[in-house]
Structure 1
Amino acid sequence: MNILTVSPFAEKKIKQGKQLLLAEDFPNIAENNQLVYLYSQSKEFLGTGYLSSQNKGIGWFLSPKKQQLTVTYFQGLFEKAKARRQSYYANDLTTAFRLFNQDGDDFGGLTIDLYGDYALFSWYNVFIYSLKDIIVEAFQTVFPEVLGGYEKIRFKGLDFESDHLYGQEAADTFTILENGVTYEVFLNDGLMTGIFLDQHEVRDGLVNGLALGKSVLNMFSYTAAFSVAAAMGGAVETTSVDLAKRSRELSTAHFEANGFSMENHRLVVMDVFDYFKYAKKKGLFYDLIVIDPPSFARNKKRTFSANKDYHKLIAQSLDILSEYGTIIASTNAANMTVQQFKKQLRKGLGDVSADFVNLQQLPVDFAVNPNDPTSNYLKVYTIKVNK
């Protein structure tokens, strides 16, 4: 077993309960893709971790014990994770949710989602990918009811992003239920699946009263899941805007799966900022505007960073928001704190009076590490604007 002596700063973070290991705390690391025992500079044993670069961090702390990564070890993790999610198993209105969530379930670098009868494994680094056989073996013993598995490769270096992993193969597209709403999903077509499961509580609010009788604008709509939830919740009309041409086809599939005609549901393929200008010019107004941008995006016209530019989305929303309208503002930027996000929103509101009705973060199936705020990356404010 490789031994790694950590800096006092890294030691402090580990003792605080943070599991993500950052490059800045390990400046001279040459090793990679291996299990390590971590020691302080005073030779105190801190625990077991692993090193493997991914989109955030260079590895993960796993346990204060000397730990071997066996099938039995992963079975224990999966049994605890399954027990924490029994409320979802008891809910007949939802068949898609997260089964295992990185450091929230005490093993960073791995997520597993359930889509009906199928599991979707996401591997975030080379080390976790090298363990996939024993992880899948452990998973099958704890989740024997799952018919088959798929995988997503969320690190660079392989020549594919998605594949069938084990068991029965799903249809190319099939439907799942969430809060009683039907969504069409796909598990073996790039990194996307047709829906972002971490937003299911926000969509539940739209289904259960927030959208009733309202005209809804859904910006950065992807497959218009928010719009479909709003339609199920009694919205009189929805408009979904996304720059990706494929969004039209995928969005239509969700609406049709619930028996909606597209008569009162517009799908617009356009840059969001261009649509703000278009709607203002045309004198369009909406009672409820949903804003859920990527944390960073670039197209031919502009670059968007949630940390710097979110306020512009709020400011331009005000121009087309009905009197006493509502904004649902969402970000998944892990490097933005709740306070920083709220500051961006207030900057966008300017002098306009507004009530921040509630803040929603990750739902309980997306278990978080309570000792690391960046683990709870989702931040969604519902704002009632008094104008």
Structure 2
Amino acid sequence: MEQIREIYVKPKFIKQMTNGYPLILKEAIDMPEVAVSEGTIVELLDAQGGYIATGYYGEQNKGIGWVLSRKQKEVIDVRFFTKKIREAAEKRAVFFASEQTTAFRVFNGEGDGIGGLTIDFFNGFYMVSWYSEGIYAFRDVVYEALNIALNTRGVYEKLRFNTNGQYVEQDDYVSGEKSDFPLIVKENGMNFAVDLNDRAMTGIFLDQRNVRKALRDHYAIDKTVLNTFSYTGAFSVAAALGGASGTTSVDLAKRSLAKTIEQFAVNEIDYESQDIKVMNVFDYFSYAKRHELKFDVVVLDPPSFARTKKMTFSTAKDYPKLLKDALAITIDNGVIIASTNNASFDMKKFKTFIDKAFKETDTRYKILEQHQLPEDFAVPHNFPEFNYLKVVIIQVIS
């Protein structure tokens, strides 16, 4: 990282920033003529040179950096990062003490004061994810701080940022004990197999913990459950453990078959009694309609954007169609769990997608529950736009 650089904030953005907005938007600053390197500490000033905040420069899809401190004399060093990590861990004390849940988020980026950096806990092991080359410039001091703040059994990392036009997705062992994979973790008493050294993913999306619990505890018993975009089948496992009469998991990725079998196996569920399909979800909708298949519960948790040879899909424009496809194979009085992690729209907008789908199919509905990020996924106070997860559990009314 370089020495401190002064950057001036445009007047109309000053109030937002002084109120605690953590992201340094490109349009909010007067960019200096000389290029600023990734990882440079920047002092954000008003036009008169008055201090606003200290941050780091790091280009990513949301802006050009993140605010780290609003104390002018605070030094961004090992002590700074140790304090931030320790404070975040203390807020998750109930998770660290739990025997029923051994996988959760310890540090959630801007919600815990350092945008672009997340730290997850997996049964004694930590996984650090770097979302910007700028924060990655602090790698050595962050790992030193992590080892001071927490008793780390072993540390892995994932690089998830763009550099030289190439998107970096790299897993690597960092320090401490090396885990044997799959590593078995618990979530509300359910077992899940994870691999911290397996490309971009780990095998489970931790932000859906409360939704899986809701499915298991309230909606699965004696029901047929369709899990679309199923990834490794975590929702299917929750449904089966909740007493579902049968589950169907559908995902286009070939590796989803073995991964889903593995998740059933670590919960002592006979995978042969469940249905696992490796195919395009939209093709499966057509297949189900042709064969007059209907489900009691349908889980929709698509990627924000996907492209196949036949089509492209974007939750921002195609979610109503996805819901209509799901409605066609959901029984009367059935339940749809509609989810998206697309941060480009909020819960209010998401509900308009739901309303549009039901109105266009002349179907009545009732919202039973709604969820956003769980408590370990801290978001900045007063800025709900960083709460990207939106889940609405809907009952179809016949």
- TM-score strictly above 0.5: yes
- Which residue does the alignment assign to 1:63? 69
Separation in structure 1 between the aligned mates of residue 336 and residue 296 of structure 2, nearest angstrom: 9
Q: Is the 8 A contact 1:32 1:53 kept in 2?
A: no
- The separation in 1 between residues aligned to 2:19 and 2:240, in whole angstroms, is 44
Match of 2:112 in 1: 105
Report the Cα offset of residue 330 of structure 1. Answer: 0.3
| 1:54 positional shift | 1.7
2:330 equivalent in structure 1 = 321
Contact 2:249 2:276 in 1 (8 A): yes
Letter in 1 for 2:118: T
Which residue in the other structure is 2:156 paired with?
150
Aligned counterparts of 2:37 and 2:281: Cα–Cα separation in 1? 41
1:106-153 Cα distance to aligned partner (Å, 9 max, x none): 110100000111000001111211211111111112211x21100000
- Residues paired across the two proteins, number: 386
CA drift of 1:28 comes to: 3.5
Q: Which residue of 1 aligns with 2:36?
A: 31
Q: Does 1:120 align with 2:127?
A: yes
In structure 2, the residue matched to 1:49 is: 55
- Once residues 264 and 134 of structure 1 are traced to their aligned partners in structure 2, the CA distance between those partners, rounded to angstroms, is 50
User: With structure 1 as the length reference, what TM-score do the two structures score?
Assistant: 0.97
1:32 positional shift? 3.3
Give how far 1:79 is off: 1.5
Could you tell me which residue of structure 2 aligns to residue 352 of structure 1? Answer: 363
- Given that 2:85 and 2:107 are in contact with CA atoms closer than 8 Å, whether structure 1 keeps it comes out as yes
Q: Indicate the residue corresponding to 1:2 in structure 2.
A: 5
How much does 1:18 deviate?
A: 1.2
Alpha-carbon separation, structure 2, partners of 1:179 and 1:352: 34
Aligned partner of residue 248 in structure 2, secondary structure: strand
The one-letter amino acid paired with 1:103 is E
Asked if the contact 2:7/2:30 (under 8 Å) is kept, the reply is no
CA distance in 1, matches of 2:309, 2:107: 37
Q: Which runs of 5+ in 1 are unaligned?
A: none
Mapping of residues 185-264 of structure 1, within 5 Å? 185-264=194-273
Deviation at 1:207, TM superposition (A): 2.1
1:40 maps to a residue whose letter is D
Please give the root-mean-square deviation of Cα atoms over the aligned residues, in Å.
1.4
The Cα offsets for residues 41-93 of structure 1, whole Å up to 9 and x where unpaired, read as 23321010111112322110121112322111111111210111111122211
Structure 2 Cα separation of the partners of residues 160 and 271 of structure 1: 24
Percent identity between the aligned chains? Answer: 44
Q: For residue 36 of structure 2, what is the amino acid of its counterpart?
A: E
In 2, Cα distance between equivalents of 1:11 and 1:262: 56
Residue pair 1:201, 1:363 contacting (<8 A) in 2 also = yes
Write the distance in 1 (CA, Å) between the matches of 2:25 and 2:217: 41
* Preserved CA contact (<8 Å) 1:236 1:264: no
**C-alpha separation in 2, matches of 1:240 and 1:27:** 50
CA–CA separation in structure 1 for the residues paired with 2:303 and 2:169: 23
CA distance in 1, matches of 2:89, 2:207: 17
Of the structure 1 ranges 245-254 and 126-135, higher mean CA displacement relative to structure 2 is found in 126-135
Bigger shift: 150-159 or 259-268?
150-159
**Deviation larger for 5-14 or 134-143:** 5-14
Alpha-carbon distance in 1 for matches of 2:25, 2:160: 18
What corresponds to 1:12 in structure 2?
15
Between the aligned partners of 2:214 and 2:22, the Cα distance in structure 1 is: 32
Displacement, 1:27? 6.3
Does structure 1 retain, via aligned residues, the 8 Å contact 2:338–2:392? yes
TM-score where L is the length of structure 2: 0.94
CA distance in 1, matches of 2:63, 2:309: 30
